[in-house]
Structure 1
């Protein structure tokens, strides 16, 4: 980092003091609120984490005026008695979080209310926590001005001015790094300024040293002031990212966790909370405190005692079915037996309900001798390697399991045979060509009780049967025949996963072929009711998807959105969290039809990142992402992703995805002016015609309509081409803006542009939140999105770039 030093500025800004020890810049928002409260003689309550600058702000604001200052830590009953005065009395009560007893608190409440009522007293209260519960009754009766922690955060301009007082001038790049590191918090900026002014290099070692300096500050000035039991509580729960009351009880072994949380909330703004499903409160310790408490834990507890905390947390996660977090905790306490047990338990699940991909590093690091000890692990490795497109490895583990089955007898042989049949049906790379015979054989074995089968994943959490866990395009050619001949066998073999399957499979086949909407809806509703009567939520997702597509095709996109929103509530209530990401992707496809471009572009932050690794279970979201790339005009990105999707489809025999990806590739190439679009479009059309799949083509509407009129493709069945052209034209008219490349301005939401304009006027994050009626967190989210879209990493640079592009 290059730092230009100049003479320290002896002038002060906004009453800033002159000595180097007391360099100070008064935060504009806090200053504005304080002045307003002063003019009304209104009681002020300031709060924020230690080091955010509350006390320094009060001292600087009051300057040379006389005032009465009290720390709640030393307060006694006889104080806070003032005779009436002709001049205004200023009374400051600091450190409210340090009140020693409930008796003193009760006395203080009465005195605060009395002082707040007096015309000759301006009362200023300060603490580390949000409005404490014991003070709320006074707050409601005597309206306070509340100055929040966010109000003490320095803006970029204020940070620049403060660094200037220290004689520091930074380049824009270096300042962005400083702003990101300090987050505008007073004590961190001060520590940084002290370090930089000493001439030390701003490198990785410096950043680590500065973090440790801040943690030392928390240790000395905050934690050491607390009772030991609250220190212990924070040290123990800091091993997890977030916790609820039950998890905290498991980790700490305490029965009074609710009381400890109450004390923690009174001590300061160290914890954030959110409401989870069912109204359960989830707590999160702030990042700096979490890291510093973990350091304190390492220094304070012996290894065995620390590992017991991680073991307790792992046990909680295991009981909750949260396998990834349980494994992380057991790994931290080096409990290899629990890790192996969890991996075996996960291998008993299907890929849609288990965590194969998320836990792949654990599985792949297992010694092969350990894997061979468990037939579940052997089957799990075969499934995982197939998901990772390592076909030879998948088949190797299948063959080893088959050899093992030949050496077993009794119940062990029956279990191993069941695992082999499960793999015969479920291995993704094997396709569905031989599946009819396999399912018939499996049904016979089940009826004769020769095997028991693990649970299946028919849909892989996708809103589709035909293009779900496997590709069933070939079955669509004989949909009615197969429904009659093996429908009951399939439902029997798959158990709960088979309820409603036959009707939903027929409905989806009819949907793709462009058949009668009434019949499709009728079959879908039958299948949904069957699935609801003891079946699986994943089948209900298929039903919701089919009904949503019917509404979209018939120009009722808002009704489609409503169906999915209602299903979302059902899925959350039933704990089907693993399908929510695909449900959200389907909602984004509806947004693309409706022209809600900003919503689709913002979703890209949540979309899986294909550049890092290609996760086969994310295929539906990848195909949604391709469409958003088309919307954004990022054609090279679309081509690269489609090439990966086509490779996956080829290896896994995914006919439907091959057709869909070729069609999207043709659209991309057409927009790029690449003549190969015609070849890919014709391949997609020829393949789709062989199945009479009308809607695979027509649902792309305006994006493909013009291409269909320009292509020289010769169809075999004129009625098929007529159906495709008619319905594509209909969709194009209903949604003329579908996948139309957006202008740069359109890629920014209305709020995002408003935020940029207000930033250009010099407003802070908190002021913008107040102006637009948004939460501070929402403004920060939009800032992050704006930075990414503009290719910058600071507010100043964002405003400058937005002006260059004439966005504001």
Structure 2
């Protein structure tokens, strides 16, 4: 094998298997992925007959004597006769191996080989170099990057062989890796793409590619409208067959191979003027707007400076998707608007007040509220905007997080009266803000729980009238949830609510449907039926795949993760934590609080108590300012768990705060849901404020513990813990370091390294070094 060619072990093993089974070997990957180099290296031990479809005619009748036939640029083989001849040759020469290289996908005339499992396809991901192999490539070029540099190199190049090859050339002679090297690599790479790929396309195809580059995913309809080219579908079909530059999300939508898209954006900057780019974004924005894709439309209108259209769409989107979540999702677009643009619209002023509030900037929130009040003061009853401005003020009085629910009750009757007399026009109001709860949704309604029966009788009709579609079955769902949190039996109420489900789906909103199913799920869990609970959520998730319900999925997935913890489904928990848990802890997103708390629960399971506390710490000021009682209880309980397990004596104060609040509201379920995890704290906490109430909490927690004894149990326990020295060795093993390298890094002798390695393998219960990393990840040791 050529000393400058390195291949991953996985690729070599896969090739050996295909060779042994005499399968047709098909390499399908874009330019620069190393198809030819990899094939040549893998075929080095054999005699090979070579053809290139770009420059040589295929001669099937040729009497060749070799182990393998290597045909390059198969995508250029367009003649049906030549295609049929190659098929016949493969079928006739059973003793000969065929290795086919193409920039495109497997063509239809060869597809039968794949369906019959007589073909092994090597795609882009098979040719990418992992960090260990990339490190070996650099070493062959005399380059020894530091671990930090190697990590940055792999992050930038992503294992792309051509980029790594260019990098080796750039760094030869001792040049250190930095941003300038990265820029030079990209410049050289893109220049190569210009000649080797881009210039080979017809001008019409090049224009279409540049038009589409900023927009992903796209389909044929979008391509036609954006480019104004009626042949866009035909051109995309040709590209799909002759290149591997596209990745399909489904049957219709696709996106570019990331490296090629970066090149196209680079090329577009060189070919398109600012006016042409703005025209392109404007055309795309109109397409997205007509298809009710406000997010993408706003992106494009902002990009081309159409702020009037941005403000129009923000207002329209707030009407379609009411609630706090709208403002959280649209924050960047609100912030991008000039102040005078906001002051020209009551809806935008209300939006800025709400947005500032959920960003915890209460001074700015009140300042925008005052601007809206000033606007109302300048209007006469006969003015066209009078009713809507008064309606926005009434909306903020109810919806602003810093307004307590006590304030709402005092204003609710007046607002309903004004609406009935048509003196105001009020926007729709979402109670849940896409959370699986009404009591703990857009606002915290725990204060109402103390008098739930009286308030239900008094306000059921006004609330339903005020909230319109969002009020369908809301009062019934709210009182059932209140009773549930207080530990009362609600099976009868739930049957009644499920009887209203069809009405909710037809005349109500997905918000209330999610809250209802969320309550049903918690009831199922409380009854020991977590498997049935997950079935309900899976069915709802299927229903919520439609575009208008996509916004519920993150919280729905977080709820599914919580159920997985009850079930002991470690794989599902790990997948959610790895792929869907919120990561940005530097900017608090209060609308993600349900996901933050779920992440903290997972980290408690992993034994990452400080991490869990860091996730929760920014939430506390918001919970206090926004009067979020229920969230505050969860926060105190999870904090107490972290402190208890990490040996922090402050756990009793955190537990006491939670129990004091629960006693005040007579809440049972917020504590008992933690079952086996919270029981030791209840027994040792020394809370004496209300022994009878503590007995109720403990009994309910024992019931949950009996049903889910491993809920929130620490999963990182080893029968024999690793010592600090063994942990150091473990980390280096996970970076594929040899015994000699480990000894050099840690400054210990080779026999000592071997002793530590043996101990690590034994304690992790694995048989070889290759299994160490997977075991360590599963146990969350690294």
d(CA) in 2 for partners of 1:796 and 1:168? 26
Aligned equivalents of 2:351 and 2:214: distance in 1? 30
Q: How does 1:47-126 map to 2 (within 5 A)?
A: 47-62=28-43, 68-76=49-57, 79-83=58-62, 87-88=65-66, 90-99=68-77, 101=78, 104=79, 106-119=80-93, 122-126=97-101
Secondary structure of the 1:465 match is coil
Q: Aligned-pair distance for 1:214? A: 0.9
1:536 offset after TM fit, Å?
Answer: 0.4
Q: Deviations over 1:1-20 (max 9, x none)?
A: xxxxxxxxxxxxx2x27xxx
Mapping of residues 549-560 of structure 1, within 5 Å: 549-560=522-533
Which of 663, 672, 679 is matched with 2:646 structurally? 672
Please state whether the residue corresponding to 2:326 is helix, strand or coil. Answer: coil
When residues 54 and 601 of structure 1 are mapped into structure 2, their CA distance, relative to the original with a 3 A threshold, is closer
Structure 2 counterparts to residues 353-752 of structure 1, below 5 A: 355-409=326-380, 410=382, 411-573=384-546, 575-605=548-578, 606-609=580-583, 611-716=585-690, 718=692, 720-743=693-716
Paired residue for 2:238? 263
CA distance in 1, matches of 2:145, 2:482: 64
Q: In structure 2, do the counterparts of structure 1 residues 177 and 373 end up closer, same or farther at CA, with 3 Å as the change threshold?
A: closer
Q: Secondary structure at the match of 2:101?
A: strand
- Output the CA distance in 1 between the equivalents of 2:691 and 2:334: 50
Structure 1, residues 631-671: CA drift from partner, whole Å, max 9, x if none? 22222233344343221111111222222222222233322
After the TM superposition, which residues 287-302 of structure 1 pair with which residues of structure 2 at under 5 Å, given as runs?
287-302=258-273
Q: Look up the SS of the partner of 1:471 in the other structure.
A: coil
Deviation readout 1:539-597 (Å, 9 max, x if unpaired): 01111111111111111111111111111111223631111111111111112222234
- Pair 255,614 (structure 1): closer, same or farther in 2 beyond 3 Å: same
- Seen in structure 2, the aligned counterparts of structure 1 residues 354 and 470 have a Cα distance that, compared at 3 Å, is closer
Q: Deviations over 1:446-496 (max 9, x none)?
A: 221222211111111111111111111121111111111120111011100
Q: Tell me, what secondary structure is at the counterpart of 1:281?
A: coil
Cα deviations by residue, 1:780-805 (Å, 9 ceiling, x for unpaired): xxxxxxxxxx9xxxx99985995999
Partner of 1:771: none
CA distance, structure 1, for counterparts of residue 444 and residue 23 of structure 2: 69
The aligned counterpart of 1:249 is 224
Matched-pair contact (CA < 8 Å) for 1:508–1:520: no
* 2:525/2:533 contact within 8 Å kept: yes
| Deviation of 1:619 (Å) | 1.6
The alignment's TM-score, normalised by the length of structure 2, stands at: 0.87
TM-score (norm 1): 0.84
Moved more, 38-47 or 252-261: 38-47
Aligned to 2:27: 46
Shift in CA distance, 139/540, structure 1 to aligned 2, threshold 3 Å: closer
Structure 1 residues without counterparts, runs of 5 or longer: 1-13, 18-22, 747-755, 763-789
1: CA distance, partners of 2:145 / 2:774: 18
SS in 2 for 1:457: coil
Query: Are 2:288 and 1:317 equivalent residues in the alignment?
Result: yes
SS at match of 1:429: coil
Is the CA contact 1:323–1:355 (under 8 Å) kept in the aligned structure 2? no
Return the alpha-carbon distance in structure 1 between the equivalents of residues 618 and 734 of structure 2.
42
Q: Residue 247 of structure 2: SS of its match in structure 1? A: strand
Cα deviation digits, residues 418-452 of structure 1 (max 9, x gap): 11111122112102103233222222222212222
What is the rounded CA distance, in whole Å, between the counterparts of 2:109 and 2:416 in structure 1? Answer: 67
Distance apart, 1:760 and its partner CA? 7.3
Taking a change above 3 Å as real, the CA distance of residues 249 and 727 of structure 1, as seen in their structure-2 partners, is same
How far off is 1:274 after superposition?
A: 1.5
Structure 1 residue aligned with 2:254: 283
CA–CA distance in 1 between the matches of 2:346 and 2:521? 41
Aligned partners of 2:285, 2:7: CA distance in 1, in Å?
46
Assess if the C-alpha contact under 8 Å between 1:27 and 1:158 holds in 2.
yes
CA distance in 2 between partners of 1:237 and 1:528 (Å): 43
Describe the shift of the 1:426–1:799 C-alpha distance in structure 2 as closer, same or farther (beyond 3 A): closer
Q: How far apart are the structure 1 equivalents of 2:116 and 2:663?
A: 74
CA positional deviation for 1:199: 3.5
- Whether contact under 8 Å (2:132, 2:736) holds in the other structure is no
Secondary structure at the counterpart of residue 434 of structure 1: helix
Task: Answer yes or no: is 1:328 the counterpart of 2:299.
Answer: yes
Instruction: Please say which of residues 186-195 and 547-556 is displaced more in the overlay.
Output: 186-195
Assess if the C-alpha contact under 8 Å between 1:49 and 1:128 holds in 2: yes
Mark the CA change 1:346 to 1:798 in structure 2 (over 3 Å): closer, same or farther.
farther
Please tell me whether the aligned partners of residues 154 and 186 of structure 1 are also in contact (alpha carbons under 8 angstroms).
yes
Q: Could you give the per-residue CA deviations for residues 602-639 of structure 1, whole angstroms, max 9, x where no partner exists?
A: 42332223521111111211222222222222222333
Measured in 2, the distance between the counterparts of 1:328 and 1:451 equals: 33
1:749 matched to which residue of 2?
A: none
* Closer/same/farther in 2, CA of residues 798 and 231 from structure 1, 3 Å limit: farther
Q: Which residue of 1 aligns with 2:110?
A: 135
Gap change, CA 1:274 and 1:679, over 3 Å in 2: same
Deviations 1:103-130 (A, max 9, x none): x1x1122101221122365443221122
SS of the residue aligned with 1:329? helix
Structure 1 residues 804 and 321: alpha-carbon distance in aligned structure 2, compared to 1, 3 A threshold: closer
Q: In structure 2, what is the Cα distance between the partners aligned to 1:191 and 1:269?
A: 21
**Aligned CA distance change for structure 1 residues 150 and 446 (closer, same or farther; 3 Å):** closer
Asked if the contact 2:49–2:66 (Cα under 8 Å) also holds between the matched residues in 1, the reply is no
Q: What is residue 221 of structure 1 aligned with on the other side?
A: 196
- 1:677-712 deviation line (CA, Å, top 9, x unaligned): 323323322221222211111111112112222233
